[in-house]
Amino acid sequence: MNPTDITNPEYFHKVIDCQYACPAHTPVPEYIRLIAAGRYDDAYMINWESNVFPGVLGRTCDRPCEPACRRGRVDEEPVAICRLKRVAADNKGNVKARMPLPPVRKNGRKVCLIGGGPASLTVARDLAPLGYEIHLYDEWHKGGGMMRTQIPGFRLPESVLDEEVNYVLALGIHTHFNHYVSSLKEILEKDYDAVFIGTGAPKGRDLNLPGRKEAGDRVHIGVEFLANVAFGHKKTIGKRVIVLGGGNTAMDCCRTARRLGGQDVKVIVRSPFQDMKASPWEIEDAKAEGIPILNNMPPKEFVVEDGKLKGMIFSKVKAVYDEAGKRSLVPTGEPDEFIEADDVIIAVGQDNAFPWIERDLGIEFGKWDLPVINPISFQSTRPDVFFGGDAAFGPKNIITAVAHGHQAAISIHLYCSGQNVLDRPAPTVNLYQQKMGIHEWIYDSVVTEDDRYKVPHASLDVTLKDLRAEVELGFDRETAFREAQRCLNCDVQTVFTPDLCIECDACMDICPTSSITFTTNGDEDDLRSRLMAPANNRSQDLYVSRELPTSRVMVKDEDVCLHCGLCAERCPTSAWDMKKFLYSVTKTTKII
Amino acid sequence: MSYVKSRFRHPEQKKNAVGFVKSDYEGALSTLCAGCGHDSISAAIVQACYELSIEPHRVAKLSGIGCSSKTPTYFLGNSHGFNSVHGRMPSITTGANLANRDLIYIGVSGDGDTASIGLGQFCHVMRRNLNMTYIVMNNGCYGLTKGQDSATADYGSVNKAGSENPFPAIDLAELAITLGATFVARSFSGDKTQLIPLLKAALSHRGFAFLDVISPCVTFNNNKGSTKSYDYVRQHIEATSALDFVPEAEEITVEYEEGSSTTVELHDGSLLALRKLSPGWDPTDRNAAMNQMDKAKREGKILTGLLYAETSSRDLHDVLATVDQPLNSLTQEKLCPGSAALEGINSSFR
Ligand SMILES: Cc1ncc(C[n+]2csc(CCOP(=O)(O)OP(=O)(O)O)c2C)c(N)n1
Ligand code: SF4
Ligand SMILES: [Mg+2]
């Protein structure tokens, strides 16, 4: 193999699994160390710069970082990254003083944001400090978008959301609430220099089954149901409730139904449990509230008698996989099952919908009637119109919307300054020395063996009675410290300088996880088979040095390196060194 | 500050034939200097015992005094151990071995511990062909006491303080062959591809196996002018042959060229296959071995690899016709048959 080019910022970035997996590339280990040090304000601001809604995300994020977490590959469970983020938000002091102020002198440019959710608010946060005059339109009376309409209060208190939405609005954003934009043409006729569309994926799918019409208003569409509950329009529900669908929306619906008076609430999914889209922890929380989940039961029809919904009939299937691994659901031959219900909530997915965008504005629409968007710049085929969040590429999650928002803000800024929107700014990277003494590092190099700590929950007696009582109570500071110590500090990189190596093998001998091997070079397959331990995780790179005097190379499998620093401690010549690699995605406005 | 080695290990560690993973053969975290050759030898011992599928409780590690003699703490943490006094590892091992012949004995010593204060004991344990593996971690100095020249320091070798050694060196491998050691090899801590098969062969050998392993002291003897530095050893090393250790149950799969290869069959049926033999050398011929070593020395080379092996020798237990079982498995009546039996023995001399 060729020697690894560690000057390419993406090499070490990829070693920081959590940060790499985060759509917004939040520097996770950096803020976790700050939480351990009790520096909650600093930890919050690092998050605020990257993801704008630390308090919201610390409760609701889909956490792509956690399945990626290296700790999950050496220990039973990953670091509770998401809930540590919440600790920063819960314990911070007055962070407002550290946030930018809207400049007194504007730059003369006006930008319109349609939709008041996480994508638009991120664009607003990034552009307002540069002097842009920002106008934000939303159909509701408050900002937040789906964070407000689709996430129930028992998972996200309104005060937390209001606080973080307001940090953005305080940057001098002109809000046009209670204003549903029904024509893009009208907006484009105004004097905006650029328009950003962050209207989400607002259309919940219906199920066209026999009896659907007759069942009438006892059948609800998941996202609409959640919005109606959020705004207090819907306050009760029948005792027996069926929720159809296996995603996070279904989980929110069933738990909400429990709180509205549903006593016998069931989730029914058409396919096997393991194919459910909902996050494992959301499923767990639903089950803990006494909600059974039945699988392999596709809904067949609504049973309505005398104009009243009685329940639903389901057929029974099993999943069969062909050679290519493709799944089909085949009937088991068992008789259909009737399940009683007073209400049915359909939460089987959502779609983007743009009935309000005229098709003669120069915005090209492609497959599934979705706008054609450049995945790097988020620009549509009409240069002054940009998309982001679920509106861009379909339903994802908050953190993805935020990441889109940052990139769209860069594009809008480039566009408004007459530059090429594809000239993207490089990330900023820094390597920091960690050595303090012979066996001393600035970071806590010792790897604790603690198991993942559980976030305490409020008692069901309280939470099932009160729609707005938060279920998760968050880590206290002591537990947060312990959980933070579980972080392996993957951003503290093992940096190898071949010129200094005397090939004493000390690093190879000490490495707890047998990650380092000195051997003769070969191609990747060959090398992977000849290392101290099998290097079968292909998603993790091999770090290969140039040839050393004994004609061997140093090969490090990044897969399960603990970043414990023992290789560097045992190195007599400092050929190994531990250096903190801080990678940050460049934003239009630097916050920290 | 660490001095702590995480207990997390590679999730795909494989079990050996007796159900242990490699980390079961590790010891405490070393307190030796970073880069010390001794640590590499410890790692090679761990690897060799793991690969040989030796049950850790069947091994006894014994040592004297010195940085090298500290290493048994850093490998085979689940085995028996005895850290004796300076130069006295051979007599302790002799006693232990006579009491329990079922254990595998690994003696670890330094060049100071063996060639200076312990030279007498070293000579006698070899003459007696005690069944053990004797490893000298040879750095040409007294590492633990801050690097004074030892008796294996080469004539003219420059120490860290800059003075040349005025005395000729004792070549422990030559001495071993002369005094009747039945398995003699030399290796280098920085060459595990050679050291591990040699260790495996030595551990499988019945009788006295001696390994002189050059092991640089990074702190006191890794300077320019030292003949035991990493650089010097790498530049002057020459091997008698390339080696493969072939366990008893396995077949030799590699084809070896006629005339340039040979095999040494060890006591337990395993084989040491030697390839690319240096010309004129036969591992079973004591004189040939001595000649090769002399020749290398004249050419300024360090000859490594297997030097001499004699596999059909009688070990100390054979010679003394001791009981077949370890003493701890004998009944009290057998071990201490009482005054009547003593009376019988005494009267047989009258
Ligand atoms: C009876 C006795 N004499 C002297 C010493 C001092 N002493 C400790 S270690 C040592 C030499 C160790 O040299 P070596 O065996 O080569 O071990 P190394 O530290 O080089 O590995 C000496 C002389 C001692 N501990 N005991
Ligand atoms: S003094 Fe020399 S022999 Fe002793 S531990 Fe340090 S490097 Fe090794
Ligand atoms: Mg020594």
Hey, are the CB atoms on A505 and B192 less than 8 Å from each other?
A: yes
Residues of chain B with C-beta less than 8 angstroms from the C-beta of A504: 35-37, 40, 189-190, 216, 218, 230
A323 and A248 part of one domain: yes
Hey, are the CB atoms on B34 and A514 less than 8 Å from each other?
A: no
- A389 belongs to a structural domain: yes
Hey, are the CB atoms on A440 and B1 less than 8 Å from each other?
A: yes
Q: Which of A541, A436, A448, A439 is nearest to A487 (CA)?
A: A448
Residues of chain A with C-beta less than 8 angstroms from the C-beta of B190: 503-505, 550
A254 and A333 part of one domain: yes
Residue A406 one-letter amino acid: H
pLDDT tier at A447, thresholds 50, 70, 90: very high
Hey, are the CB atoms on A510 and B39 less than 8 Å from each other?
A: yes
Residue A16 has pLDDT above 60, yes or no: yes
Q: In angstroms, what is the C-alpha Rg of chain A? A: 26
For B37, name the nearest residue in chain A, comparing CA atoms only: A504
Over residues B10-26, the pLDDT tens digits come to: 999 999 999 999 999 99
A280 and A402 part of one domain: no
Q: Ligand 2 centre and the CA of B31: distance in Å?
A: 10
Hey, are the CB atoms on B9 and A512 less than 8 Å from each other?
A: yes
A297 and A232 part of one domain: yes
- A40 belongs to a structural domain: no
The full DSSP string for B58-91 is GEEEEE-SSHHHHGGGGB-TTSEEEE-STT-HHH
Please report the atom of ligand 2 found closest to the CA of residue B38: 8
Sort A436 into a burial class: Cβ within 10 Å, 0-12 / 13-18 / 19+: exposed
Mean pLDDT lowest for which of A79-83, B274-278, B309-313?
Answer: B274-278
A243 and A287 part of one domain: yes
Q: Ligand 2 centre and the CA of B189: distance in Å?
A: 13
The rounded mean pLDDT for chain A is 95
Residues of chain A with C-beta less than 8 angstroms from the C-beta of B7: 449, 512
Picking from A75, A440, A503, the nearest residue to B8 by CB comes out as A75
Over residues A303-331, the pLDDT tens digits come to: 999 999 999 999 999 999 999 989 999 99
Hey, are the CB atoms on B5 and A503 less than 8 Å from each other?
A: no
Residue B246 has pLDDT above 90, yes or no: no
Position A569 scores a pLDDT of 93
Residue nearest to atom 5 of ligand 2 (CA): B32
Pairing label, strands B59-63, B80-83: parallel
The rounded mean pLDDT for chain B is 93
A173 and A288 part of one domain: no
- A526 belongs to a structural domain: no
Domain range for A273: 205-350
Question: Helix, strand, or coil here: A320?
Answer: strand
Contact A257, A286 (CB under 8 A): no
Ligand 2, residues at Cβ distance < 6 Å? B 32-33, 36, 38, 67, 139, 143-144, 217-220
Taking phi over 0 as left and psi of -120 to 50 as alpha, with beta for the rest, B180 belongs to left
A409 and A340 part of one domain: no
- A587 belongs to a structural domain: no
Rounded to the nearest 5°, which phi and psi values hold at B61?
-110, 135
Residues of chain B with C-beta less than 8 angstroms from the C-beta of A549: 234
Residue A365 has pLDDT above 80, yes or no: yes
Taking phi over 0 as left and psi of -120 to 50 as alpha, with beta for the rest, A39 belongs to beta
C-alpha distances out from residue A474 to A54, A80, B161, B170, B334, Å: 13, 11, 61, 70, 70
Residue B77 CB contacts under 8 Å (≥ 6 apart), including other chains? B25, B26, B27, B28, B56
Q: Is B218 on the interface with A (CB under 8 A)?
A: yes
B96 CA to chain A: closest CA distance, Å? Answer: 30
Number of domains in chain A: 2
Position B1 scores a pLDDT of 40
Position A422 scores a pLDDT of 96
A·B CB contacts under 8 A = 102
Contact B21, B12 (CB under 8 A): no
A252 and A335 part of one domain: yes
Residues of chain B with C-beta less than 8 angstroms from the C-beta of A506: 34-36, 39-40
Domain spans of chain B, in order of start: 22-320
Over residues A191-222, the pLDDT tens digits come to: 999 999 999 988 899 999 999 999 989 999 99
Position B256 scores a pLDDT of 59
Other CB atoms closer than 10 Å to residue B315's CB: what's the count? 20
Residue A475 has pLDDT above 90, yes or no: yes
Residue B276 has pLDDT above 90, yes or no: no
Residues of chain A with C-beta less than 8 angstroms from the C-beta of B22: 514
**Listed residues A350, A370, A394: the one ending a domain:** A350
Contact B106, B62 (CB under 8 A): yes
pLDDT tier at B259, thresholds 50, 70, 90: low
B22-320 homologous superfamily: Thiamin diphosphate (ThDP)-binding fold, Pyr/PP domains (3.40.50.970)
Q: Is B9 on the interface with A (CB under 8 A)?
A: yes
Mean pLDDT lowest for which of A446-450, A466-470, B226-230, B238-242?
Answer: B238-242
**Listed residues A294, A325, A350: the one ending a domain:** A350
Hey, are the CB atoms on B10 and A562 less than 8 Å from each other?
A: no
Hey, are the CB atoms on B8 and A509 less than 8 Å from each other?
A: no
**Listed residues A396, A416, A436: the one ending a domain:** A416
Picking from A75, A506, A513, the nearest residue to B39 by CB comes out as A506
Ligand 1, residues at Cβ distance < 6 Å? B 65-68, 86, 110-113, 117, 137, 139, 141-145, 150
- A253 belongs to a structural domain: yes
A224 and A315 part of one domain: yes
A365 and A281 part of one domain: no
Over residues B13-72, the pLDDT tens digits come to: 999 999 999 999 999 999 999 999 999 999 999 999 999 999 999 999 999 999 999 999
CA distance A177 to A548: 66
For B193, name the nearest residue in chain A, comparing CA atoms only: A519
Mean pLDDT of B83-105: 98
CA distance A309 to B193: 77
Other CB atoms closer than 10 Å to residue A361's CB: what's the count? 16
Residue of A502, A551, A563 to mutate for B, most B C-beta atoms under 10 A:
A502
A196 and A219 part of one domain: no
CA distance B244 to B196: 9
Q: What is the CATH number of the domain that holds A363?
A: 3.50.50.60
Residue B144 has pLDDT above 90, yes or no: yes
- A345 belongs to a structural domain: yes
Over residues A81-131, the pLDDT tens digits come to: 999 999 999 999 999 999 999 899 999 999 999 999 999 999 999 999 999
Residue of A441, A451, A504 to mutate for B, most B C-beta atoms under 10 A:
A504
For B235, name the nearest residue in chain A, comparing CA atoms only: A550
Contact A307, A280 (CB under 8 A): no
For A514, name the nearest residue in chain B, comparing CA atoms only: B10
Other CB atoms closer than 10 Å to residue A33's CB: what's the count? 23
ipTM: 0.90
B301 CA to chain A: closest CA distance, Å? Answer: 17
Hey, are the CB atoms on A439 and B2 less than 8 Å from each other?
A: yes
Residue nearest to atom 2 of ligand 2 (CA): B217
Question: Helix, strand, or coil here: A274?
Answer: helix
Over residues A18-53, the pLDDT tens digits come to: 999 999 999 999 999 999 999 999 999 999 999 999
Hey, are the CB atoms on B234 and A510 less than 8 Å from each other?
A: no
A216 and A288 part of one domain: yes
Which tokens go with A209?
């089954």
